[in-house]
Chains A and B, each alone.
Chain A
Amino acid sequence: MSTSDVTRDGLRGAHPEREATTGVATGRRGRRRGEQPRVEAGAGSSYYGLPVLNQVTWETTDIGGYLYLGGLAGASSVLAAGAELTDRPVLARATRASALGAVGLSLVALIHDLGRPERFLHMLRVAKPSSPMNVGSWLLTVYGPVAGVAAAADIAGVLPRTRRAATLAAAALGPAVASYTAVLISDTAVPAWHDGYREMPYLFVGSGATAAAGLGMIAAPPYEAGPARRTALVGAVLEVGAGRLMQRRLGMVAEPYEHGRSGALVRAGEIGTTVSALAAQVVDRVPGGRGRAAAVACGAALMVSSALTRFGIFLAGKASAADPRYTVEPQRRRLTERRVERGDGSGAEGAGG
């Protein structure tokens, strides 16, 4: 409904704001007159604060879980081989079973996350080194059955030579299964993932090792679980150390690893891993009958902490994709540096943000 009349002398009865010009008469907060521009001009700006990237479509439980399970499976296979070679049958059986279970579940998660699950085998219609997901699919296609044979032969108590060979083969492939997922997420334009590609594989294998170590401590009796306890320490050093290095190197892009829900998960994972890995070193000195319970609790804490780290990293990536600052600011800085290097004098323009 109209509230004004058009006359020769202009508008009569019009709302005064109608004449307002964008950005004019900017006063203090709360006293701004005139419509404000919604998109600022120049460098360091964004389009209505909308993200530059399209958000990751992967489900957090599916692919966050996939990252965790891949690490658990891969590191379990390495522990299984060590246990096999040093005559630790309980540790060997538990880690072989966990490798098979984890790789099976991770495959379920991966297929469940596909938009067209019935087309899963399309992954194998090509061999494509430029696609980490394709490489991973082939890797799992080989690793899965090998881990399966190792676990099945053990449980059935048959073919000891085949069991040993399969256990060793799975241990050779396991570290690749644990580390390739780092390349999978780093090979994206998601700032917090891509920019961390140097440290991410170390963080991932470390997190996988702490999870497998936790499982070993839960399943194996203390006299067999020594390597699992020490593996917890190795994994924690890799996981926490690489994580710290990554956060320091990334600068402002590391913010999602430090703040918000993702930051809380990463921090909880870091503290949990550190504390339980240290506790694992003294758990066998707990007196009386409570030693076993303490080892189980410590192992569970290791597994949970590793999962917290993975989900924290997954959500941090999503958070960094959702905010255009993480995409624009580092690129803007790069451009500015390049201009300064070339000495064309226009470098100062890009300092925004």
Chain B
Amino acid sequence: MTIHPLPDPVVASGWTDAPPRMGFFTDTSVCIGCKACEVACKEWNAIPARGTEGSSDLAQDFTAMSMDNSMGLGADTWRHVAFIEQRKPLGIQEPGQFHGDDPSGSDVLALAAQGSGTPPSEAGMTPTTPGPAGEFRWLMASDVCKHCTHAACLDVCPTGSLFRTEFGTVVVQEDICNGCGYCVPACPYGVIDQRPEDGRAWKCTLCYDRISVGAEPACAKACPTDSIQFGPLDELRARADARLASMHENGVTDARLYGRDPDDGVGGDGAFFLLLDEPEVYGLPPDPVDTTRDLASMWRHAATAAVTVLAGIAVTFAGGSGRRSRR
């Protein structure tokens, strides 16, 4: 018995004549950490501030660890920008530097005159062209719900509140959710969470309302560097492969795709990423597995255990009647 008999989650969920599966490709190498995605997401989806009225939780927004003030994905954070500071070369970034006649050619005015279409090979200082003597780098990455091909949150939802849309995305129906909280520990990425004052589970809908009318999701629309790209998943995968190849050609061997592979533990992500370090550095699990993949085996063990205890207790009654045997 297999829980996921069909590779295409949209077809497996019973949709016919569905549009192509849509998703995100988040290219973190061009993320500038502006958090426009976080803000646009909050605005469009009317997500409450994390510290809600009447509580002092807003003070927790100052994490004192980095530029990150939202910590991670949750019920009220559907896009989260991670900030990672590393002692690792990536371009030139020296303090106290006079840039007037910089020998490395980082003339910002000349760069600006070239316009925004600078090919990576000609750019003076971009993440794709590591400078000769950088000492540290900032990694920034906008995280989001992965809209897994095999989505554990959806599988374990006891009410059917979580469902697969015709776009292959995973969405919570808030009029159905009874706040059982099962989806929260089921998610191998730590995405979905319960809103305490509301009781229900919330997460990214990939702007189901927007994409249903042909608009792109709010975060992708707001992203000023196109780090967040929205489109048909096939197209995004091809684009990501080309981007990765070009980065490797340019010597950025750190670059890797995360969630791109349809053969990974969750059957590939609907929202996948280009990262510049191991996933765990960004707070992502390195090899996530669909929580419900072993469910058939779990039920088998439970059935065997049930029979074992039934037999075990039955044996204790061997020897007949209590009254007669004891007195």
**Chain A contact residues, CB within 8 Å of chain B:** 10-11, 18-19, 21-24, 37-48, 50-58, 75, 78-79, 82-83, 85-88, 91, 113-117, 119-120, 122-123, 125-126, 128, 130-134, 137, 171, 174-176, 178-180, 182-183, 186-190, 193-194, 197-198, 200-202, 204-206, 208-209, 222-228, 230-231, 234-235, 238, 317, 321, 324, 327-328, 331-332, 334-335, 350
B195 to chain A: which residues have CB within 8 Å?
115
CB under 8 Å from chain A, chain B span 166-203:
176-182, 184-195, 198-201
B3, B161, B283: the one contacting A50 at CB < 8 Å is: B283
B185, B315, B316, B322: the one contacting A321 at CB < 8 Å is: B185
A79, A85, A116, A204: the one contacting B178 at CB < 8 Å is: A116
C-alpha gap A301/B300 in the complex (Å): 31
Shortest Cβ distance from B141 into A: residue: A47
**Chain B contact residues, CB within 8 Å of chain A:** 3, 65-66, 68, 71-74, 82, 84-88, 95-96, 135-136, 152, 155-161, 176-182, 184-195, 198-201, 277-278, 280-289, 291-292, 294-295, 297-299, 301-310, 312-317, 319-327
B302 and A23 form a contact (CB under 8 A)? no
B95 and A21 form a contact (CB under 8 A)? yes
Tell me how far the C-beta of A231 lies from the nearest C-beta in chain B, rounded to whole angstroms: 5
Shortest Cβ distance from A184 into B: residue: B182
In the complex, besides A45-B281, A116-B179, A332-B287, 15 extra interface pairs with C-beta distance below 8 angstroms are: A11-B96, A43-B278, A47-B72, A56-B181, A78-B313, A120-B178, A122-B161, A131-B158, A175-B307, A179-B305, A197-B298, A198-B297, A202-B305, A205-B308, A223-B322
A324 to chain B: which residues have CB within 8 Å?
280, 283
Q: Which of B136, B152, B316, B324 has the most CB of A within 10 A?
A: B316
B323 to chain A: which residues have CB within 8 Å?
87-88, 223-224
B314 to chain A: which residues have CB within 8 Å?
78, 82
A131 and B182 form a contact (CB under 8 A)? yes
C-alpha gap A54/B301 in the complex (Å): 27
A223 to chain B: which residues have CB within 8 Å?
322-323, 326-327
B95 to chain A: which residues have CB within 8 Å?
18-19, 21
B159 and A125 form a contact (CB under 8 A)? yes
C-alpha gap A332/B278 in the complex (Å): 10
C-alpha gap A246/B305 in the complex (Å): 14
A175 and B309 form a contact (CB under 8 A)? yes
Tell me how far the C-beta of A199 lies from the nearest C-beta in chain B, rounded to whole angstroms: 8
Shortest Cβ distance from B312 into A: residue: A234
A227 and B313 form a contact (CB under 8 A)? yes
B198 to chain A: which residues have CB within 8 Å?
115
A24, A126, A188, A238: the one contacting B291 at CB < 8 Å is: A188
**Given A125-B160, A201-B301, residue A113 in contact with residue B185 (CB < 8 A):** no
B322 and A115 form a contact (CB under 8 A)? no
**Could you write out 7 A-B pairs with CB less than 8 Å apart?**
A22-B136, A38-B65, A42-B281, A56-B185, A179-B309, A187-B186, A190-B185
